[in-house]
Amino acid sequence: MKKGTVWVLGASSGLGLATAQAFAASGWLVIGGARSFECRDLDREDKLGFICLPLDVTNEESCDRFVRQAFEWSEQVDILVSCAAMLMLGSCEMTSTDEYTRIMETNFIGTVRMVQMVLPHMRKKRNGKIILFSSINGLLGIPFQSAYTASKHAIEGFAECLAMEVKPFGIGVCVVEPGDHSGGSTHTRLHANAESDTSPYSAAYQAATKVIGKDEAKGLSPDKLGAKVVRNAERRHMRFRLRVAKLDQHAAVWMHDVLLPSINAMILRQYYGAK
């Protein structure tokens, strides 16, 4: 007997894959969705340990099809985990509005779309849990990640509103705030097209992206994060915020909240190699 049914969005790599596998290992029926799951592949499902269905969270028709197919596997959805996300590196000036739109459509609007699709089912049975992946970047900004940072700030605000609204229906909400973790997928890490060697930000951009890459390479284990997400989900009442980060990133959030903005910005600029 399975503990229940979990839908994991963005389950093909990184933190989404680790979270899906952690739920499966804990005895849940896991239905994972991702764009790279273009068709049913039983060999891949045996290897990953959960059901894999195609899903593009930016496409309404794809989301509808995922929901229909998921309900064919299980008549219920007990937990929704939204991990689907893309990272765009680039300065605020050189990142185009189309590129901002692409990131917001995937990281924020796609999450909203899937939450709206599961809520009627959870409200009907007056039970359910929704886990939304934000980031440390949802709490503070760093140079050259403005699109990603904006999308994660949006997730933070949405989650706070959602938690208040759905509590009367017995639905819990958690927002996960990961710091740097190793093993991220390169195909979800993009660079703004206009951020070239001729960009006025080129030197600072190169320095910052080098630091970002170094931090990710030395990041925490995705498997441990997945296990923490599962433990929180299996509590009777989930913690609303689950921050999983190294001590220095916890400190960065604390400093962002208590220091003068000018001092905080100076520290971050220096850390990311600004001259």
Question: Who contacts 190 (Cβ-Cβ below 8 Å, separation ≥6)?
Answer: 86, 87, 88, 89, 99
**Active site annotation includes 272:** no
Question: Who contacts 8 (Cβ-Cβ below 8 Å, separation ≥6)?
Answer: 16, 19, 20, 23, 30, 31, 32, 33, 50, 81, 83
| Catalytic residue (choose from 129, 152, 205, 272) | 152
Per-residue b/e over 37-74, b at no fewer than 16 CB within 10 Å?
beeeeeeeeeebebbbbbbbbbeeebbebbbebbeeeb
**Active site annotation includes 152:** yes
Write the burial class of residue 96 (CB in 10 Å: 0-12 exposed, 13-18 middle, 19+ buried): middle
| Catalytic residue (choose from 12, 13, 135, 151) | 12
| Catalytic residue (choose from 13, 91, 134, 146) | 134
User: In this structure, are strands 51-54 and 87-89 parallel, antiparallel, or unpaired?
Assistant: unpaired
| Catalytic residue (choose from 148, 201, 205, 272) | 148
Using DSSP, state whether 7 is helix, strand or coil: strand
- Residues belonging to the active site: 12, 134, 148, 152
